């Protein structure tokens, strides 16, 4: 009667290693092993790269939203003025801002003037959105005060106008040049409303990192914006920044209650929530698709092991007659398959992590070889393809690959263990 041995004994590892190092005469087995190894490597690498790009894209997108826009915008509901007209401006804007700033979790509350106008330089016109803001409040906007790139000095903001790099490129201007701001809602005269045109020196050009912001955003000093847009003594809204933008929902009621009974709010989630939900859905679908890719790569292990079992039938019969148990045979072939999955997973993790770390250089090379234009920021919103490695993403990819590799290995290993030694040696 065969005597049982300790699981995964040294001789089992030795036999499995010898089987994986197939002789030239059994080159088919070695070829299938290499195919399985390469397949798992590429599948795991693709999964890690996709997860890293997904995480990096979402973080970059959210960071540019939170770094250049209000986390919460506070408006006034429509009310009737003393003259009988309706309005939504905020007359006591500074009082609103001071009260909102006292709410725990709020880091800044700044009055704002907003308007859409035409920017002009010689024969070039560009539609822009003007933000009238105080200099000290402008300094608290991360993507403007500390942008990816800047020309000029933000300390000269009160002497002119600050514009996005996309606006500057479209108009062909740089720091020190003058541009005209044209508003159709200008001076009211007996013959109607005439457009208002003012010229300003460009004192600061910033690159916030979002194409739509850099292409349309212009900042004016608050008092100048009040005068230009006929908003003397009022503000259009209060721009609010908070310490925890992800937890903005719990601050909405305190902000409205503290500001005024007429206050209403609009959050960054309201502005971009649909896009972020679409990203989350796409992330889940991509993970499922790539998981299937890993499964397909793991299935190659079955083909390799079936060929190995067929080629090693005589060896199995001899080992069984010498006293090797079914459990030992199962473990030998399980080690053959699982080692392929393990090595392929390790290689895939290394390849995927290296790709994610050097994605900028790789992408630059691809862009150069293709003649440029691979990444269109006007469509993507951001200027580059970001990647961010997260430990959980790597762990999930490794767990998935190893689990599938171990599971698919069991079936051919059981077939080898149940092989009848008499049948295996009958024709030898």
Phi, psi at residue 108, to the nearest 5°? -160, 145
What whole-number distance in Å separates Cα of residue 98 and Cα of residue 110? 9
Cβ atoms of 36 and 347 closer than 8 Å: no
What whole-number distance in Å separates Cα of residue 294 and Cα of residue 272? 33
The angle formed by the CA atoms of residues 158, 159 and 164, to the nearest 5 degrees, is: 75
Cβ atoms of 311 and 29 closer than 8 Å: yes
Within 10 angstroms of residue 372's Cβ, the number of other Cβ atoms is 8
Within 10 angstroms of residue 110's Cβ, the number of other Cβ atoms is 23
What is the model's pLDDT at position 25?
47
Q: What share of the chain is helix, strand, coil (3-state, %, to 5)?
A: 55, 20, 20
Positions of E strands within 97-164: 106-121, 124-133, 149-152, 161-164
What is the model's pLDDT at position 352?
92
What is the model's pLDDT at position 165?
92
Helices (H), 322-376: 326-357, 359-369
What is the model's pLDDT at position 329?
72
Q: Which of 67, 240, 66 is nearest to 142 (CA)?
A: 67
The angle formed by the CA atoms of residues 136, 137 and 139, to the nearest 5 degrees, is: 70
Q: Does the model's pTM come out above 0.75? A: no
What b/e readout covers 143-180, taking b as 16+ CB neighbours within 10 angstroms? bbeebeebbbebeebeebbbbbbbbbebbebebeeebb
What is the model's pLDDT at position 99?
93
Q: Which of 212, 241, 260 is nearest to 73 (CA)?
A: 241
pLDDT values of the chain reduced to their tens digit, one per residue, 428 residues? 445 555 666 766 777 777 666 554 454 456 777 888 888 899 899 999 988 988 888 888 788 888 888 899 999 988 887 777 788 889 999 999 999 999 999 999 999 999 999 999 988 999 999 999 999 999 989 889 988 889 999 999 999 999 999 999 999 999 999 999 998 876 666 556 678 899 999 999 999 888 888 999 999 999 999 999 988 889 999 999 999 888 888 999 999 999 988 899 999 888 877 777 887 888 788 888 888 888 888 887 777 777 776 666 666 666 666 666 766 777 777 887 788 888 889 999 999 999 998 888 888 887 777 776 666 676 666 777 788 888 988 999 999 988 888 888 887 777 776 666 655 555 45
What whole-number distance in Å separates Cα of residue 49 and Cα of residue 290? 11
Cβ atoms of 314 and 7 closer than 8 Å: no
């Amino acid at each position: 009667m065969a005597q049982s041995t300790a699981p995964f004994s040294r001789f089992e590892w030795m036999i499995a290693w010898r089987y994986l190092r197939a002789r030239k005469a059994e080159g088919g087995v070695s070829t299938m092993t290499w195919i399985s190894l390469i397949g798992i490597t590429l599948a795991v690498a693709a999964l890690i790269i996709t997860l890293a790009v997904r995480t990096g894209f979402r973080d970059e997108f959210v960071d540019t939203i939170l770094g250049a826009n209000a986390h919460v915008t506070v408006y006034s509901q429509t009310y009737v003025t003393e003259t009988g007209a309706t309005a939504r401006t905020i007359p006591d804007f500074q009082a609103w801002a001071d009260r909102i700033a006292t709410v725990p979790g709020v880091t800044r509350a700044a009055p704002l003037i907003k308007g859409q106008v035409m920017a002009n330089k010689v024969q070039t016109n560009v539609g822009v959105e003007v933000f009238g803001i105080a200099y000290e409040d402008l300094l608290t906007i991360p993507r403007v005060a500390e942008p990816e790139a800047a020309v000029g000095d933000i300390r000269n903001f009160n002497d002119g106008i600050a514009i996005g790099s996309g606006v500057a490129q479209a108009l062909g201007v740089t720091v020190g040049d003058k541009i005209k701001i044209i508003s159709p809602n200008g001076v009211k005269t007996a013959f109607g409303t005439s457009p208002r045109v003012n010229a300003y020196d460009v004192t600061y050009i910033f690159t916030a990192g979002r194409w739509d912001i850099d292409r349309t955003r212009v900042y004016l000093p608050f008092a100048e914006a009040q005068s230009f847009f006929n908003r003397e003594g009022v503000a259009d809204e209060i721009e609010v920044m908070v310490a925890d933008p992800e937890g903005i929902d719990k601050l909405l009621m305190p902000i409205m209650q503290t500001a005024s009974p007429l206050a209403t709010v609009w959050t960054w989630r309201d502005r971009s929530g649909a896009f972020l939900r679409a990203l989350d859905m796409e992330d889940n679908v991509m993970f499922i698709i790539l998981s299937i890719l890993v499964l397909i790569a793991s299935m190659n292990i079955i083909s390799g092991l079936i060929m190995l079992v067929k080629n090693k039938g005589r060896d199995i019969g001899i080992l069984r007659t010498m006293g090797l148990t079914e459990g030992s045979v199962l473990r030998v072939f399980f080690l053959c398959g699982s080692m392929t999955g393990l090595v392929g997973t390790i290689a895939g993790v290394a390849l995927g992590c290296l790709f994610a770390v050097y994605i900028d250089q790789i992408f630059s090379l691809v862009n150069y070889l293709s003649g440029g234009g691979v990444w269109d920021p006007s469509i993507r919103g951001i200027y580059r393809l970001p990647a961010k490695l997260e430990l959980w993403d790597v762990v999930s990819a490794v767990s998935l690959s190893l689990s599938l590799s171990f599971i698919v290995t069991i079936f051919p290993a059981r077939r080898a263990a149940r092989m009848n030694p008499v049948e295996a040696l009958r024709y030898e």
